[in-house]
Amino acid sequence: MSDTDVLIVGAGPTGLTLAIELARRGTGVRIVDAAPVPHRESRGKGLQPRTLEVLEDVGVTERALATGTTRLPFRKYFDGAHVSDTDRAADTRPTPDAPYDTGVLIGQWQVEEILRDRLAEFGITVERGLEVTGFEQDENGVTAVLADGERIRAGRLVGCDGGRSRVRKAMGVRFDGTTEPAQSMVVGDVAAEGISRDFWHQWFTPDGGVMLCPMPGTDSFQFQAGPELDADGEPLPPSLESFQRIFDRHARVPGIKLTDPTWLSVWRVNVRMVDRMRVGRVLLAGDAAHVHPIAGGLGMNTGIQDAYNLGWKLALVTAGRAAPGLLDTYEEERLPVAAWTLGISTDLYARVLEAVKEPGTGIEAAAAPPMGTGYRWSSLAAPAGAGDPDVLRPGDRAPDAPCLDASGRPVRLFQVYADPRFTLLGFGTEVADAVGKLAVEHQDLLQAFTLDTDLRDHEGHARRAYGVTDPALVLVRPDNHIALLTRDPAEVNDYLSHIATIGPKE
């Protein structure tokens, strides 16, 4: 007998998101963390637009937007002189298919607090001070071994325990890549009275730079800079005194004192990823599977999206509504994304380093591009059979659109998709009967709506976003990616039946 269906090791953003995704689908879950208390460190401090879409489905985006800020201009200085102010979000606007036009600046500890509160709504709390040092697995489950000798039995175990993951090491998978000791950064949270909190300040000199980013909802700034080095070229341990010396050297703003340090750290460039994200009943997600340079805030965002991809698959398999082979598609879809992200974030870091050398460029030049949000290569992406392939293909992110419900009240497709099942959209009354029959036949897996009957596409935004002009059926996965575009109800039936029987890649 297992203590739980799924044991999650690590209660950062990745582990918490996964726990919520499982809990809202009725899967038994325990989440443990080695730290005795939650941290209050800003760490990864940005949620990207796609992650806000994910977190809307999880149920916390409004809380994140209320806590963080979406508008913080960069203020750049060179050799102490003010050079420019840049607001990357000044010209961006939400669109009907993409409601979040910009990311949100928010401390990682605040993201975790919001996610813990959401998880608590399902009656689940993080079990703290429990360090998993290894595990044993058999054909029926996994036994996690704790540092104090205690054992926890689970149907499956997911390691979300960060870049130094004990779970990953026990799995025996490769962690390929490089660590660059010569490339490092000091980061921390400090107060700085007299510095405006209306800008992300970035001071550059020919030999380096320092940045102060005001963290919303706090009195702190996140401090980032190159470290002081000892005689051997190694970074000196971070301290408030060293932060002050670095600030004075590059900012050249007299009379500003840094105070109240709540986090001081040295960060080294680390670019690594696993060769496998699953070994039997044990899986990896987030930094436990891939670690990134700091630029672009891709680490936390990628980890949350790992969890979003894995959650619905793990829940269906655990409930017996999908075959275990469905879990193979987690690695199939997320490993390429991790490789892509590592390439992007490494390039971003290089551009940041270049940006400090010339007065005419700055950190704003290293803004992150949109994250790859599609899985067109996936075995879960059926061949396109309807719609405009230049607009949308199976595997792509499912767009949002404003509609009206049957009573005439406004509703967005993203609100409709918040149901944990697959969603079938039938475009045109001609397919209404087929939509109704499929909903009955696959009620455990599917919710279904006919546009212009159950939902009204009153402004045509849904048809434009999905590239639909004729009657069509659009099947949307629980993680809001397109599974199938077709005109044939039998193809929807075959797809959902395949989910229940999908075999392993082997």
- Domains of the chain, by residue range, sit at 4-70+102-176+271-356, 178-269, 402-501
* Torsion of the alpha carbons at 281, 285, 289 and 294, rounded to the nearest 10: -170
- pLDDT for 151 equals 96
- pLDDT for 70 equals 94
Cα angle value 94/96/97 (rounded, 5°): 95
- The whole-model pTM stands at 0.93
In this structure, what DSSP letter does residue 272 have?
E
Choosing among 3.40.120.10, 3.90.199.10, 3.30.9.10, 3.30.420.40, the CATH entry for 178-269 is 3.30.9.10
Buried b (16+ CB within 10 A) or exposed e, 397-412: bbbbbbbeeeeeeebb
Q: By the 8 A CB rule, do 191 and 260 touch?
A: yes
- Compute the distance between CA of residue 57 and CA of residue 74 in angstroms, rounded to an integer: 30
Q: By the 8 A CB rule, do 283 and 155 touch?
A: no
- Compute the distance between CA of residue 265 and CA of residue 112 in angstroms, rounded to an integer: 19
- Compute the distance between CA of residue 212 and CA of residue 201 in angstroms, rounded to an integer: 5
Structure token pair of residue 13 = 């953003």
- pLDDT for 340 equals 82
- pLDDT for 178 equals 76
pLDDT tens for the chain, residues 1 to 506: 468 999 999 999 999 999 999 999 999 999 999 999 999 999 989 999 999 999 999 999 999 999 999 999 999 999 999 999 999 878 889 999 999 999 999 999 999 999 999 999 999 999 999 999 999 999 999 999 999 999 999 999 999 999 999 999 999 998 988 776 557 889 999 999 999 999 999 999 999 999 999 999 999 999 999 999 888 888 889 999 999 999 999 999 999 999 999 999 988 878 888 989 999 999 999 999 999 766 666 789 999 999 999 999 999 999 999 999 999 999 999 988 888 877 765 665 566 556 544 444 443 434 444 444 689 989 999 887 676 777 899 999 999 999 999 999 999 999 999 999 999 999 999 999 999 999 999 999 999 999 989 999 999 999 999 999 899 999 999 999 999 999 999 999 999 999 988 866 54
CATH for the stretch 402-501 = 3.40.30.10
Same topology, domains 4-70+102-176+271-356 and 178-269? Answer is no
- pLDDT for 354 equals 60
Q: By the 8 A CB rule, do 450 and 473 touch?
A: no
Which CATH class for the 4-70+102-176+271-356 domain?
A: alpha beta
- Compute the distance between CA of residue 234 and CA of residue 295 in angstroms, rounded to an integer: 22
Q: By the 8 A CB rule, do 19 and 168 touch?
A: no
Q: By the 8 A CB rule, do 268 and 181 touch?
A: yes
